[in-house]
Amino acid sequence: MADRVYRAAPPETLRIEALGELTVLFDRRSMQTHLMTQPMPEILAVMAGDPCNAATVAERLAARFDLGGGGDPTPLIAERLAELAAMGLVAEA
Amino acid sequence: MRHSTRIAVGPVQFRIGSDWRAPVAALGRLYAGYPRDTARPADATVRLFAARPWRRWLRPSVEIGGDFTVPDALPLPLSMGLLAAEMGMNLQVALGWRRHLLLHASAVARDGRAVIMSGESGSGKSTLAALLGEDGWRLMGDEFTLIDPAGGDALAFPRAVSLKNAAIAEVAARVDAARLGPLLAGTPKGDIRHLIPRADAIAAMHEPARPVLLLFPRFGGEAGIEPMGEGEAFVRLTEASTNYVALGEAGFAALTRLVRETPAFGISYPDSTTGLALVEQLFAEAVR
């Protein structure tokens, strides 16, 4: 998968609430509710307002969380970014 | 329309019009004890009408109309006019109400604290609420519970309880026959008989109650209690709400608050006695 660059939806458009193991997110633009589990909310959080590719996100996640030290997480994060794009929560920058 | 009435159930003022006298008269008997305020504008309109003029007399067939309608809804025979009225009232609330988050759930309260029970048809939520309402609890509603988006309180919608099939005999054995409506046998939902809530439940219908327990009952199988996470309760209640999407962020905020502040459990029970005991037990633990 090409390492595309995305930008997260502006924080003021999203309302994010953690409900135990699940995070629920209300998108004020689409009026849609999204349900997500980790690492989706964490990805949105580390992207902040910056254009990010999967490698940048992986780097920022590794700085904040223990990613377990397994292989390179970048391909998995690229997939998650594509899923977030399909939900309209990140867009190609 | 030829015959009409107004009925206030909780915060909803209904205007019901009918081409026939019988459904309005039947509603009049069921809702005789409810407060009336004819000056108040109607929130919801239900129309029971004949599709063709001659169908008022010839094999009379009741079409359900109102502010909101469901395409292709089948008409009911006039003998089931009361059921048509009930379906029309439910439909208007389910599709039209915007002031509160509307949950397809029954609720009972004690000391200002509410137990909300959500489940599919057949889960027993309605029967449990009806039986609790005869056993020291205030019946808030057997079908809908309203959540105030501002404060998070539960509001009552104590319409006449729609008892179905086996629940009819179970409840009839415990109440004065004067509180039961006519038996509607062989409806599309089986046998139905309405129960008029106790007078104290009707008198208290405008009093909000604080949710303290969310239950997801399942009739059948061994008695069991299963704690439910906030996320699962949220998902289930979005599915049980008829206006969650329409309320937008207000609905989202009301529901996240409800599941955060209110412990939730799935309960299964083989019979009503066990079901009532489980509710009592969980309520005692919740308010401790």
pLDDT, tens digit (0-9, with 9 covering 90-100), for B123-170: 899 999 999 999 999 999 999 999 999 999 999 999 999 999 999 999
Contact B235 A35 (CB under 8 A): yes
Q: CA distances (Å), B263 to each of A28, B11, B154, B250, in order? A: 28, 26, 15, 21
pLDDT 10s digits, B207-235: 999 999 999 999 998 999 999 999 999 99
Chain B residues inside the 8 Å CB shell of A24 = 231, 234, 252, 256
* pLDDT tens digits for range B92-117: 999 999 999 999 999 999 999 999 99
Q: Which helix (H) or strand (E) covers residue B201, if one does? A: helix B199-203
Q: What is the ipTM of this complex?
A: 0.91
Across B68-82, B154-168, B253-267, least confident range = B68-82
> Residue A83 above 90 pLDDT?
yes
pLDDT: which is higher, B150 or B72: B150
B238: nearest CA partner in chain A: A33
Residues of B in contact with A22 (CB under 8 A): 229-232, 234-235
Tell me the percentage of chain B whose pLDDT exceeds 90. Answer: 85
How many residues in total does chain B contain?
A: 288
Comparing C-alpha atoms, which of B38, B45, B44 is closest to residue B17?
B45
Distance CA B127, CA B23 (A): 24
Using the predicted structure, report yes or no on whether residue A88 has a pLDDT greater than 60.
Answer: yes
Q: Which two tokens stand for residue A22?
A: 């699940």
The three-class DSSP label of residue B98 is: coil
In this predicted structure, the answer to whether residue A64 has a pLDDT above a threshold of 60 is: yes
For residue B122, the model assigns a pLDDT of 83
Question: Looking at this protein, which amino acid is placed at residue B156?
Answer: A
8 Å CB contact of B248 and A31: yes
Check pLDDT > 90 for residue A69.
Answer: no
CA distance A22 to chain B (A): 5
The pLDDT of residue B248: 97
Q: How far apart are CA A43 and CA A74, in angstroms?
A: 12
Residue B237 has pLDDT above 60, yes or no: yes
CA distance A31 to chain B (A): 6
Per cent of chain B over pLDDT 70 is: 100
Average pLDDT over residues B4-19: 96
Tokens matching residue B116 = 């909300």
Q: What is the DSSP letter of B120?
A: -
Report d(CA B261, CA B258) in Å as an integer: 5
Long-range contacts of A27-32 (CB under 8 A, 24+ apart): A27/A88, A27/A89, A28/B249, A29/A88, A30/A88, A31/B245, A31/B248, A31/B249, A32/A88
Is the pLDDT at A1 greater than 60? The verdict is no
Enter the pTM of the model: 0.93
CA B178 to the chain's CA centroid: 20
Tell me which long-range contacts B24-32 makes (C-beta under 8 A, separation of at least 24): B24/B85, B26/B81, B26/B82, B26/B85, B26/B181, B26/B182, B27/B82, B27/B85, B29/B181, B30/B82, B30/B160, B30/B181, B30/B194, B30/B196, B31/B5, B31/B7, B31/B160
Helix (H) or strand (E) holding B171: helix B166-172
Read off the pLDDT of each residue in B265-269 and give the average, rounded to a whole number.
97
Residue B125 phi, psi dihedral angles, 5° rounding:
-60, -35
For residues B2-8, average pLDDT: 94
Tokens 């105030």, located at residue: B148
Chain B touched by A62 (CB under 8 Å) = no
3-state secondary structure of B84: helix
What are B181-199's pLDDT values in tens digits?
999 999 988 999 999 999 9
Contacts of A68 (CB under 8 A, 6+ apart): none
Sign of CA dihedral B126, B128, B130, B133: negative
Residue in chain B nearest A31 by alpha carbon: B248
Calpha distance B121→B91 (Å, rounded): 16
pLDDT score recorded for residue B68: 81
Q: In this model, does residue B67 exceed pLDDT 90? A: no
Q: What angle do CA B72, B73, B78 make, to 5 degrees?
A: 135
Count of other CB atoms within 10 angstroms of residue B136: 9
Is it true that the peptide bond before A39 is cis, omega within 30 degrees of 0? yes
Closest-CA residue in chain B for A33? Answer: B252
User: B interface mutation test: which of A13, A14, A19 has the most B CBs within 10 A?
Assistant: A19
Contact (CB<8Å) A19/B260:
yes
pLDDT band at residue B66 under the 50/70/90 scheme: confident
User: Does A48 have pLDDT greater than 60?
Assistant: yes
pLDDT at residue A57 is higher than 90:
yes
Mean pLDDT of chain B: 94
B175 burial class (0-12, 13-18, 19+ CB within 10 angstroms)? middle
| Other residues' Cβ atoms within 10 Å of the Cβ of residue B178 | 7
> Is A24 in CB contact (< 8 Å) with chain B?
yes
Paired tokens of B81: 């006019």
